[in-house]
């Protein structure tokens, strides 16, 4: 091979190595961002979701309704409710990190009245406060009544 071709091959190899390094860097950044979102959700869960849901559960339990709170995964919290009416009605609400949309929380509702109904919404994490959690649980309860 002549020197011109050799230099071109070296340039291509250097460019390929740089591209490979950039790919590793992008993958690392994506993993770090995912971990930041998980950490952020866990902080919201610890400071807002769980305390607010527990307080709501105490009020429901005092009125004779059944509740259960579960942390299904580090990125998912679920509260089950059985409203004690003439015919008991069950529902559930889940707050989870939306994997499709980083930075958002997915709220899933499930109602078992005559037939099972499911619904979900996504909200920015910045919007989550105790009032927000109460509004979402009230939405679930309205669906049961």
Nearest of 104, 106, 82, 111 to residue 94 by alpha carbon: 106
Task: Tell me the C-alpha distance between 87 and 71, whole Å.
Answer: 28
pLDDT per residue over 97-141, tens digit each?
988 887 899 999 988 766 667 888 999 998 889 999 999 999 998
pLDDT at residue number 43: 93
Task: Tell me the C-alpha distance between 18 and 123, whole Å.
Answer: 38
pLDDT at residue number 115: 67
Task: Tell me the C-alpha distance between 81 and 92, whole Å.
Answer: 6
Say whether 53 sits in a helix, a strand or coil.
Answer: helix
pLDDT per residue over 42-100, tens digit each?
999 999 999 999 999 999 999 999 999 999 888 999 999 999 888 888 999 999 998 88
pTM of the shown model:
0.78
Task: Tell me the C-alpha distance between 63 and 81, whole Å.
Answer: 12
pLDDT at residue number 113: 65
pLDDT at residue number 114: 62
End-to-end Cα spacing for the chain: 82
pLDDT at residue number 82: 92
């Amino acid at each position: 091979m002549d020197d011109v071709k050799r230099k071109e091959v070296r340039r291509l190899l250097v460019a390929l190595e740089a591209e490979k390094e950039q790919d590793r860097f992008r993958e690392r950044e994506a993993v770090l961002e995912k971990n930041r979102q998980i950490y952020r959700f866990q902080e919201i869960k610890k400071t807002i979701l769980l305390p607010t849901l527990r307080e709501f559960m105490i009020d429901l339990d005092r009125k004779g309704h059944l509740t259960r709170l579960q942390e299904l995964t580090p990125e998912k919290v679920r509260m089950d409710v059985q409203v004690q009416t003439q015919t008991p009605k069950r529902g559930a609400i889940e707050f989870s990190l939306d994997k499709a949309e980083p930075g958002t929380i997915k709220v899933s509702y499930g109602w078992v009245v005559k037939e099972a109904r499911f619904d979900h919404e996504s909200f920015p994490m910045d919007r989550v406060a105790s009032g927000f959690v109460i509004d979402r649980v009230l939405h679930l309860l309205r669906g049961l009544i």
